Amino acid sequence: MPEVYYYTDPLHDEFSGITKKTITVDKNFKYISRNPLWRLVSFFIYRVIITPWAYLHCKCKFKYKIVNRQAFKQHKHDGYFVYSNHTLMGGDAFFPSIANAPRKPYIVVNADNVSTKGTKNFIMMLGAIPIPTKLNGMPKFISTIKTRWAHKHPIYIYPEAHLWPYYTGIRPFEATSFKYPAELDSPVYASTTTFQKPKRGRVPKVTIYIDGPFYPDPNLSVKENQQKLRNEVYQAMVERSKNSTYEVIRYERKN
């Protein structure tokens, strides 16, 4: 029988179980380092240590399969945005690197992800772009996303924002984060994580579906394209989520 988690707000409830003192991410936060040594260490950690470890970890734990990964090849020389459901504590950090290899994706994350003492630089080297905790940090945050995109990196965004481990549905999400591809006239993909019964044990087998690319319509305004792209991604994710056939945790609304 699946474990039952109770929620009250599908937009804002969080089930990661992580509590920490969040650092300040403002206008003084360094998103991109120009230090040659930092870049060298970053390259070594990402390419030599983390990439192979992520592949082995996810293969052993989730016996994963990625369906339609070749869709990314349509824009192998371009930056693009990928929107995914937020269901795996470690997997959501590692699967983008596996799905887009050998390209390095950058992942928009909550500031909590860079708040553990002594790990901020390490997490940044892996491709994190933390969301500002203060409004004055937004210009640099947006500039970083556009810079990474202009350098032809995939940009991953989890529009559900909050982690619901092994959730088999798609939670409602807003169109806010689709402003970036709407403004940049960028290709957009949907990545949907689904769960199937394993041959042994309780940890589900993971199948990830890639859909797209979806494109902004030149005849629409930025705001209209935000909503258009959001709807196309959401519909693709809802349809793919029907391929989840195994439930580890059941989420029920609390009255």
Amino acid at 134: K
Bond before 139 cis per omega within 30 degrees: no
Average pLDDT, the chain: 95
CA dihedral of 113, 115, 117, 120, whole degrees rounded to 10: 60
Q: Cβ–Cβ contacts within 10 Å for residue 79, how many?
A: 22
pLDDT digits (tens, 9 = 90+) for 183-231: 999 999 999 999 999 999 999 999 999 999 999 999 999 999 999 999 9
Bond before 10 cis per omega within 30 degrees: no
Residues 67 and 207 sit within 8 Å (Cβ to Cβ): yes
pLDDT band, very low/low/confident/very high, at 21 (cuts 50, 70, 90): confident
pLDDT digits (tens, 9 = 90+) for 157-171: 999 999 999 999 999
Three-state SS for 184?
helix
Bond before 172 cis per omega within 30 degrees: no
| Cα angle for residues 252, 229, 71 (degrees, 5° grid) | 95
pLDDT digits (tens, 9 = 90+) for 117-160: 888 999 999 999 999 999 999 999 999 999 999 999 999 999 99
- Lateral strand order in the sheet of 128-130: 65-67, 205-214, 188-196, 80-84, 154-157, 106-109, 128-130
Q: Beta strands 188-196 and 205-214: pairing type?
A: antiparallel
pLDDT digits (tens, 9 = 90+) for 70-95: 999 999 999 999 999 999 988 999 99
CA-to-CA distance for 99 and 103, rounded, in angstroms? 9
Residues 229 and 178 sit within 8 Å (Cβ to Cβ): yes
Burial of 249: CB neighbours in 10 Å, binned 0-12, 13-18, 19+: middle
DSSP 8-state code for residue 120:
H
Its pTM surpasses 0.85: yes
Domains of the chain (ranges, CATH numbers): 3-253 (3.40.1130)
Q: Report which of 179, 154, 167, 162 is spatially closest to residue 238, judged by C-alpha positions.
A: 167
Three-state SS for 154?
strand
